[in-house]
Structure 1
Amino acid sequence: MIGRERSNRFAVACLVAAVVALLDQATKAIALTGLSQDERIPLLGNLLGLQLALNPGAILSLGGGATWLLTLLGIGAITLLVIAAARAGSGWWAVGIGLLLGGVIGNVIDRLFAPPAFGAGYVTDFLAYGNLFIGNLADVALGAGVVVLALSAWHRSRTRIGDTAATAGVTDDEAGGS
């Protein structure tokens, strides 16, 4: 039974990753054909808009001179995330890992196949967050994955505190519960 549960969690992580990567690539294709690098289309005033940016680096264009290194790091992250997905201990953990995996895959696809060269491609960004930075759906999935994993870990730790307190005969208030 444990093997089947683990297999199901792995399938959930892979399905989430596939959906994220497909949506990311589809929205990037739309952005490439319909948006400009010079003009921003406001969605929520100055808070959120659409504007095309081709990013050789990571977040905030960091590492733009070493795009090939970012590609290798992305491939390494994919490998580690697939291993983590195979070991996911809960459904929420599988969803979080799937979000991370899909986000990394989406951006690595750009790095591998987008101009200017194989393995050194620029990531297509189009979600303009004020004047802070421009990102894409892969970046949103990465952030969401971190939040899901953090909340899952927090919930798990709270459950363990409650279990430990109950075993020791401690009330929720004494254990730090609400």
Structure 2
Amino acid sequence: MADSVEPTGPAEADSASGAAAADKPAGRRRVGVLLVVAVLAFLIDLGSKLLVVARLENHAAIKVIGDVVTLQVIRNSGAAFGMGQALTVVFTMIASAVIVVIWRIARRLYSLPWAIALGLLLGGALGNLTDRLFRAPGVFRGHVVDFISVQHFAVFNLADSAIVCGGILVVLLSFRGSNPDGSVHQPAEKGEK
């Protein structure tokens, strides 16, 4: 039978409860961060698309920085650079799978940087998935609204930007050895196997 040591005074009780609280990861707060970032990314993307469709569709491009950056509405059935235009249903399924994977990771999410990265990915995926589900020509075949045109580059939207920023952050965190659960992978010492 194991002996348990009870705190004898209020100071020891406070330090014992403080130590127990320090051992518990702040998981709920990290999922909250993921959700806040995802909702913000989604709403900013949705709002920007509603605005540009209402104001720019069927109008000439607006020059933001000369001919280098312009705003013009493009309906994209494919992926970046218009690739895979016949694969709209596949892209819809991939976005849905990404959302499910992020949600599964969120159950054990204790890292703030990972919460931000995954929130950006989730918000961006939801933004483009919303277009694919609810825009013409129909459910699972909808065209994504892209409107930021950079010369010699793809036309994209803010959901795409969130996905790229989230993806870059995931790569950087992975290279640093940071894991979504808050642990840090330590590289093996030389000579260890």
Identity of aligned residues (%): 30
Aligned pair 1:151/2:167, yes or no? no
Task: Please report how far the alpha carbon of residue 153 of structure 1 lies from its aligned counterpart in structure 2 after TM superposition.
Answer: 2.6
Aligned pair 1:26/2:9, yes or no? no
Change (3 A) 1:19 1:3: farther
Aligned pair 1:52/2:76, yes or no? no
Could you list the structure 1 runs, at least 4 aligned residues long, displaced by more than 4 angstroms after superposition. Answer: 1-4
Output one character per residue of 1:148-169: Cα deviation in whole Å (capped at 9) or x when no partner: 22222333469846xx77xx9x
Which structure has the larger Rg over C-alpha atoms? 2
Which of 110, 118, 139 is equivalent to 2:160? Answer: 139
Task: Please report how far the alpha carbon of residue 3 of structure 1 lies from its aligned counterpart in structure 2 after TM superposition.
Answer: 5.8
Task: Please report how far the alpha carbon of residue 38 of structure 1 lies from its aligned counterpart in structure 2 after TM superposition.
Answer: 6.1
Gaps of 5+ in 1: 169-178
CA distance in structure 2 between the aligned counterparts of 1:4 and 1:89, rounded to whole angstroms? 6
Q: Which deviates more from structure 2 when the two are superposed, residues 131-140 or residues 106-115?
A: 131-140
Change (3 A) 1:85 1:41: same
Q: How many equivalent pairs are there?
A: 164
Q: Which amino acid aligns with 1:119?
A: F
Task: Please report how far the alpha carbon of residue 69 of structure 1 lies from its aligned counterpart in structure 2 after TM superposition.
Answer: 1.7
TM-score, normalised via structure 2 length:
0.77
Q: Which deviates more from structure 2 when the two are superposed, residues 76-85 or residues 16-25?
A: 76-85
Gaps of 5+ in 2: 1-20, 179-183
Counterpart contact for 1:9–1:86, Cα < 8 Å: no
CA distance in structure 2 between the aligned counterparts of 1:15 and 1:129, rounded to whole angstroms? 29
> Normalized per residue, which structure has more helix?
1
CA distance in structure 1 between the aligned counterparts of 2:24 and 2:74, rounded to whole angstroms? 44
Aligned pair 1:126/2:147, yes or no? yes
